[in-house]
Structure 1
């Protein structure tokens, strides 16, 4: 009888400390909106990688990466090349977010590294938990110069990119 009770309590302990792992789905989307002295623009991040862990029904770990070389605009290679150079693609090929904690069930607090500069940030999100997936939706305004990025220019300085951009994301993580 003692062995049965021991196994029962051990089972409860294991279930109460259960973790679930999730991987970023191809259904995820991330865009960056900005302005210049001539027009507004949007670029799309085409290669996203990430995983997360939920422990006791709370986001516990998030590791998220964007390949700089696959952030593309609809305006063509000139804009893409200037953007990749500003993001220091050759020496820092990825933008990385690592979760430190979650506040109030939906504010992600962590480290964002862009162009080799790491900053602590808070991101307000909407998190939807389903049986086999987690969806995280939100946006974050970023000041380029906070990350050591000089806003790109064109046409001998006549066109200047605005210093503030907005990152919009709709991330879907599926259970492993």
Structure 2
């Protein structure tokens, strides 16, 4: 059974660390972790002249993180598991680009990006890859994704992964600036690099 494997339990902690402020009905398992200061959540992209990087202020996350999950057959399944990232807590390196970033994500109408974990595939022996299914909501539009996260277990548990997205998938038009001479490219990257410790 999945619930009897310490390795599977650690994988659940890793993936669940993406999910802050969630609630479950009658969870079978529960634990808590802290996110180390060196952890990062970053949204990045490019334009026809440069690139931009917007880093989330992890100090705004409520800590410690309570993790709850339910083992189901061939997958570890999650119910109502959500991570909510306030758009205003991303720092792109300056007031002007921060303002552009918030306008792009339609912050007044939709003040946060939401991620909902759907399931985790059991990892294979001697393989650091973890298959994950999730729903991502940006500007009020939700899309489902299957992706891969990578983990290491040396001291703290570490997870690292990048999810490529397209702005147009969420009904967002890549903006143009300076009389249309600077254009943001459609594809952006969501990078998660977390160092976790059970408490």
TM-score between the two structures when normalised by the length of structure 1: 0.76
Q: Deviations over 1:59-101 (max 9, x none)?
A: 6545322110111212x22211111011011121111111111
The runs of 5 or more residues in structure 1 that have no matched partner are 1-16
2:110 corresponds to which of 86, 92, 95: 92
The runs of 5 or more residues in structure 2 that have no matched partner are 1-26, 124-129
Moved more, 110-119 or 40-49: 40-49
Question: What aligned pairs does 1:71-150 form with structure 2 within 5 A after superposition?
Answer: 71-74=90-93, 76-105=94-123, 106-128=130-152, 134-150=157-173
Name the CA shift for 1:118/1:146 in 2 (closer, same or farther; >3 Å). Answer: same
Name the CA shift for 1:126/1:134 in 2 (closer, same or farther; >3 Å). Answer: same
Contact 1:65 1:96 in 2 (8 A): yes
Q: Which residue of 2 aligns with 1:52?
A: 67
Name the CA shift for 1:173/1:164 in 2 (closer, same or farther; >3 Å). Answer: same
Structure 1 SS opposite 2:96: helix
Structure 1 SS opposite 2:48: coil
Greater Rg by CA: 1
Q: Which residue of 2 aligns with 1:70?
A: 89
Partners of 2:149 and 2:186 in 1: how far apart?
23
Contact 1:51 1:64 in 2 (8 A): no
Report whether the alignment pairs 1:19 with 2:29: yes
Contact 1:21 1:52 in 2 (8 A): yes
Q: Deviations over 1:123-165 (max 9, x none)?
A: 210134578x643210011111101111122101110101001
Contact 1:52 1:63 in 2 (8 A): no
TM-score between the two structures when normalised by the length of structure 2: 0.68
Number of aligned residue pairs: 158
Q: CA offset at residue 119 of structure 1?
A: 0.7
